[in-house]
Each structure stands twice: as structure tokens, then as C-alpha cells.
Structure 1
Amino acid sequence: MTLTDAQISIVKSTAPVLKQHGEAITTVFYHNLITENPSLKNIFSITSQSTGAQPRALAHAVLAYATYIDNLAALSHAVARIAHKHVSLQVEPAQYAIVGQYLIQAIGQVLGDAATPDIVDAWTAAYGVLADVFIGTEGKMYEENEKKDHWRGWRKFRIARKVEESQNISSFYLKPVDGITLPRYLPGQYVSVQVLAPQVGYLQSRQYSLSEAPKEGGMEEYRISVKREEGEAGNGMPGLISNLLHGMQEGAEVEVSHPQGEFYVDPADASKEGVPVVLISVGVGATPLMAILKSLVQAPAKRPVSWIHASRSSSAQPFGEEVRRIVKENPEQVSAHVFLKTVAGTDQAGVHYDFADTRMDLTKLDGERDLHLADKRTEYYICGPETFMVEIRKVLVGLGVERSKVHLELFATGDVADE
């Protein structure tokens, strides 16, 4: 399917309208779609619907599409991020037709007479083009997973072990019930975990980063590290899935999809030998970076690594002891720098923290030794709340780092907003 010049012009001209009414359109869209197709509650996050995060994210995506419809290459990263998530949730091609039907319907419902036949026709065609992009991209991902790892769809796993990493973060070691060796993933990637949520009566899925380094030749288990989320006040479902997981005992079963995600480091890339890596996180954002850190110290191609982390306190800090051990065993390759907002009487400066009573402030670090600013090849991987990631990116760019060298991960719905 292709768009005519006239249709492209019409879609671009609707960008201001979408900016004004986009969230109203997507809110109506989700309400109609899910009300009339309740089985889709098994796919969409009930919490993201309740808080409005899902409609807001879709509104931003639709606006971006209208803005760049004549330059889709500008959206390549967003398309990749969304496609990876769709594959992890097992979104199927047939579902795109249903979504398109209700999205066009919502545009007409909200805009009324302003949704002229030409506008409706242009957006119908534009959605078809976008759907084809996602169906094609995701189809290749499904085929690759199935061909390489013989894995498509949800797979039953058993919680083999639970290990407390901090006061509100626990690691879950998941073993496949079928006993078949698990494929190797790229450090930084995630899996979707699906469980039945009794509170809502539907299956619910969430993405959790794999927090252990992958092993050559396959693995017997995966490790995810999950924070028990308090949730947002008023949504009635604080940390719906994280609380369910934390309440599960060893031996309980969950369903897991194939590892996905475009936020990763390839430790086998010999061309990157000697290129510094700076890993920056706050709180549970350390989970994908932990897999990256451990993979880099095990890789034949050695790269200098700087671990920079901020936590509310040492009791809330995940992997503290594990990171200290890695630094001790690899002093020439790895350095660590920890910011604690609150220091306890048992915390030792230079051991449990480097900077006390403060949020993360990169200007307190040595630009050359800790941030590797002098080496323009340096790559920066940041994970944490969106506001944190965007702020840290601003700081790095202000220090002279090329924006393309800064990689952000996002746990929540949608994409990372620009400054």
C-alpha cells in the first residue's frame, strides 16, 4: 500500500489537530476497542489504561507519524522499540485490522464534521501503510526467533529461586517447564512475563530486563530482578504484576515470551575493543545494566567500564555487593561510583557510597577518568525513570557527548520524549 501526495499532505495538515485532540481520540479509541473486544484486556496493560499512560503514548505516536509521514526514516528507532514490544506481547497481524477500524472510528467520533471524507480516507490509507511496516518488521522477528531458537508464543516457566536484592527488589530465577535449553540473548534485553491477575480477571503482561549475563551455548534459567512497585495513587492497582510476582513462592509457574529489545550491548563485537562504556542508572534501572556489566567483564574484547548508580539508600540499592565484587576482581577495567540520598550509620564512605545526601550529579565525577569524555567513541547506557534519563542525556550532551552515543531504556508505555 502506498500513499498519494495528496493523502500525505492531508495527514501532515492534521498534525495541529492531533496535537490538540490526540489524547481525546486515543482515549475514545481504547474505550471502544476494549469494551467491544474484551479479550484484548489480556494484551493491554490494565494499569496503563487506568492511569491514562497508554492513551497518552498512542497520541504521541500518532502525532509523530503525522509529522514525519513523508520521512518515516526519522521514526525508525521508535518503530524498532514498539515492534520489539509487540513481539514480546505476541501481537498478531490480524489485530492490526481491528485496531485500524476503531482508530478511524474514534477520529470521526471526536472530530465530528471536521473529519471530512478526504481526511478519513487519508488516515485510513496512512494507517494501512504503518500497519504494513509493523507487520513486516514483526514478522521477520517472529521468523528469526522460531528459526533460530524454535520458540514462538508464550512458554511456561517455573520460579526456581527467589533472591532478595534490596528491601523492595528481588531476583527471580526462571526455569522452563519443558526443560529445553534457553537461547542466548543480548545483555540489556528483556522478556515479557504473563500471569493471571485475579484483581481484574484477565491475563496481564509486563516487561522485565534480564539481569544476568547470557552464557555461550544456551542457558538453563533466566534471571529477572523485579521491584515491588507501590503504584500511582488513585489507580486502585499499585504495582499489579510486581506485587503478584513478589507474592509467589518458589515452584510457582508463569508464562514468558522470547527475549526482545533494542537496548543492548553486543559483547562479542571485537570492533569495540577498547571503547569505553558508561552505565548510568537509578534504582531498579540497574537491572539491564547489570547484565551488560557482567557480560563486558567476561568478554574477550576488553572495554573500560564505568558504573554510575544512584539509590535512596544502601538498603534500597540492588546489586551493591555484586558490583563491589566485580570491581575488586577487575580493578583495571571497571570503576564504580554510587550516589546515596540517605546514608545510614553502617554505611562506609568509599565502600557503600561515594557521594552522600545527594541525587546523581555527573559534574561531581572526573570527566576524563569516570565519564571518559576525552574519548569520543565512548558509549553511554542510561536506565531509570524517563525524567531522569532525559535529564542525564541533557547533561552529557552539554558536556560535549554526541547525542547518538547516548542510549536510553524505557520500562513504561511509549517512547522516551525529547528534551
Structure 2
Amino acid sequence: MLSEQSAATVRATLPVVGAAIGDITERFYERLFEAHPELLRDLFNRGNQAAGTQRQALAGSIAAFAAHLVEHPDERPDVMLGRIAHKHASLGVAPDQYGTVHRHLFAAIVEVLGDAVTPEVAAAWDEVYWLMANALIAIEARLYAGQGVAAGEDTWRAWQVVGRVEETEDVATFRLRPADGAPAPDFRAGQYVSVQVRLDDGARQIRQYSLSGGPGSEVRQISVKRVRGAAGAPEGEVSNHLHARVHEGDVLRVSAPYGDLVLDDTDADVPLLLASAGIGVTPMIAMLEQLAVSGHRAPVTVVHADRSPAAHALRADHETYTDKLPDGAAHFFYERPDAGHPAELTGRVDLAALPTAVAAGTRAYLCGPLPFMRAVRAQLIGRGVAAADIHYEVFGPDLWLAQG
């Protein structure tokens, strides 16, 4: 993939670029938003920008891609690229935006590194950028085509809220139907949609939410956790808007479904483990519903971690769909169990505490905060589950971190 000459240059300069990449991406976003303020207003997550996590995400993805090219010159990190491409497609990213990013990113590199950016260094990193960008453009084109649109077209559609359910104090489920009466697009259990809302200052901010019901119904549903400000982090603009302002009869702009955390076509006779924490429960519920409807006969182990039974959104669905499985078992871990809902397990998820061992040949699907997924993944690998059989969803700007 990467030419031998560029590979040598990237290998030699990766430590220098890596050490400065935080400064580079900070300057990049300053330049980008000065030239294109509409991108911050209508495309990028302003909360992540304010917290600095978006800068870390860009820095991390480029560094990870470059390191992979150097260490594995004949391979492409398709898992990472696919995950990013699904996110981009859900946002409606267009091919020409990669040229805009390139222009401001490389200007920032020159500003930060100065004379260290020789023509040879610039050419090598330019090759890295376009290898990554062109791979993403190609994957995104296929994703758009699968939804019947061309890259760069308006991919948004109006959906009417036909129901709202308060799941917990901080989680509400919104049931949606296409406002034009046309059929809803198909999706696979585990996928998500983007929702775009117009805020009081005129910004159109976008967030992704998993579809929390299984395929097969004309009505789609998303379950949204209200993001409360804490430890200096801002409140979630979109989640709080949806909780405070959106009710039955309102209309939302919603993307087509995307996401690569989906049940494999070969899962029918395979033992499965569905593990989630907090609002990571949402794609797992959709998968669990699909398994219950299809009558999945192999063992299904359901594991969920939450602060308390009261905070456990969609708990009734968790239990109902598990009970419909011929060989299903649900295990809930609560940090603070209460007398009204005695927990069978307390504390953080510990697979050793389950009454039965993880079955040989298990395929696992995980969704939740990164520390949770890393901990469960390590436990699964320690029990002989192959790394290739552990799949997970990462939301937010750090989605590149869980590459394996």
C-alpha cells in the first residue's frame, strides 16, 4: 500500500509527528473552523470540540493508520476504516470534504513542525493521508449506494414521533415513522441512525443513536440517554433538546441506518454472549429481539452492567426477550442494588461470577464505555474466546480506539 520510500520516511518521522500531533490537530481545527464555521455549527459535535476529545480522535486515527501501514505494509486496517466510514456516512460526509481537511491539516503540520517538514516528509505523509482518505471515500460510496443515494446528496429524511416512553429518569424512547408515509428502510439489528436537531442558536447538531428495537416493524425506535454536565464537561446539547422538547407528533430529521456491529449471518448455531453497560444496552436489545424472533437455539448469555436497577433502561425488554430464547440466560450487575430489585450480582462485570462458564466457540458482542469493553474483552480472551469473535461498538470521538 505505502511506497517503500514513504514507508521509510513515515517510520523515521512517526515519533516526531506523534509527539506533536495534539498541537497539529488543535491548530488544524482552529484553521478549519475559521474558514468553515458552518462545519462546527452543523456537522461537528460542539461538546466534543469544547472538551478536546475530537482533536484526540483525529490525532489518534491518523497515527493509528500510519503505524499500521508501517508495521503491516501489505494489510489495511479495514475494521477501523469501516467503523469510521459508517460514522461518516451517517453524518452525510461528502468526498470533497476530504480535500478541505487535507488543505487545513497539512497547513497546520507545516505551522507546528516548521523546517522539519521537508519535501520528502510532506510527500510521505501526504501519501498516508490520501491512502486513508481514498479508502474511506470508497467504503462510504458503497454504504451510500446501499441506501440508494449518491455520496454528497442530502441523505436526511423526515420522521414523525409516534410515541414516547420514559424508560428511566435519564432515558427516553422515541418511536418513529417516516413522515411521508413511505416504507421505512431496512436495517440490521445493532445499527444506529443519526438525528439532526435545530437548536436555539440556529445550529443543526447531529448525534448517533442505536435502533433499540429489532427489524421487521414499520416503526423504528431510539432510546436516548440525557447527557448531564459533570466534571467540567458540558451538557449534551442534542440529548437534552430531545428530552425537553420532542414529543409525540413532532418531526425529526433522521439518517439512514448505518453501523457494523451486527449479528453475523453464521450466528444461527453459535453460542453468543451479548454484554453491555449503561446506554450500551440499546443495540443489544435489538439483537436480542431478533434472536428471540428467529428462535435462536444455541446458548445466549446476556450480561449487563449498570449503576442500579432504576438506571437500567429497557430492563423489561432484556428479560422478556431472553426468556423467549430456548437457551438464554440474563445476568445483571449493579453497583447499587436495591431491595425492590434484588440483584443476582453486584459490582463490575466478572464473567467468573456467572453460574456457567463461557461456552466453547462463543461469539461475543459488546457495547458500552471503553473501559468496560476492554475489561470484558480481556476476560473473554482469558477464557479462550478468539479475538476475531469479539465485536464491539464504540460511540463518540474515540471510536478508532477499539480497533481489534
> Does residue 214 in structure 1 map to residue 215 in structure 2?
yes
Aligned to 2:339: 345
Structure 1 position 135, deviation (Å): 1.2
- The amino acid that maps onto 1:361 is D
Give the secondary structure class of the aligned counterpart of 1:204: strand
- How far apart, in 2, do the equivalents of 1:130 and 1:402 lie? 28
- For the Cα contact (< 8 Å) 1:296–1:303, is it kept in 2? no
Name the CA shift for 1:384/1:158 in 2 (closer, same or farther; >3 Å). Answer: same
- For the Cα contact (< 8 Å) 1:171–1:226, is it kept in 2? yes
- How far apart, in 1, do the equivalents of 2:118 and 2:369 lie? 40
2:276 to 267, 278, 281: 281
Tell me the alpha carbon deviations over residues 42-86 of structure 1, each in whole angstroms, 9 at most, x when there is no partner. Answer: 111111111111110111111112212253634110000000011
Aligned to 1:409: 393
Aligned to 1:14: 13
- How far apart, in 2, do the equivalents of 1:105 and 1:38 lie? 18
1:301-380 correspondence to structure 2 within 5 Å:
302-330=297-325, 332-347=326-341, 349=342, 353-356=343-346, 358-368=347-357, 371-372=358-359, 375-376=360-361, 378-380=362-364
Aligned to 1:397: 381
- How far apart, in 1, do the equivalents of 2:259 and 2:204 lie? 22
Structure 1 position 114, deviation (Å): 1.2
Give the secondary structure class of the aligned counterpart of 1:342: coil
* Structure 2 unaligned spans of 5+: none
- For the Cα contact (< 8 Å) 1:12–1:69, is it kept in 2? no
Identity among equivalent positions (%) equals 36
Aligned to 2:61: 61
Tell me the alpha carbon deviations over residues 311-362 of structure 1, each in whole angstroms, 9 at most, x when there is no partner. Answer: 11111111212222234443x3211111121122322x4xxx2113x22222
Aligned to 2:28: 29
1:1-400 correspondence to structure 2 within 5 Å:
4-41=3-40, 42-70=42-70, 71=73, 73-146=75-148, 153-198=155-200, 201-215=202-216, 219-235=217-233, 237-247=234-244, 248-266=246-264, 269=265, 271-299=266-294, 302-330=297-325, 332-347=326-341, 349=342, 353-356=343-346, 358-368=347-357, 371-372=358-359, 375-376=360-361, 378-400=362-384
Structure 1 position 3, deviation (Å): 5.4
- The amino acid that maps onto 1:57 is A
Count of aligned residue pairs for this structure pair:
397
- The amino acid that maps onto 1:45 is N
For the aligned residue pairs, the C-alpha RMSD in angstroms reads 2.0
TM-score normalised to structure 2 length: 0.93
- How far apart, in 2, do the equivalents of 1:254 and 1:318 lie? 22
- How far apart, in 2, do the equivalents of 1:253 and 1:327 lie? 33
- For the Cα contact (< 8 Å) 2:187–2:257, is it kept in 1? yes
- How far apart, in 2, do the equivalents of 1:361 and 1:154 lie? 42
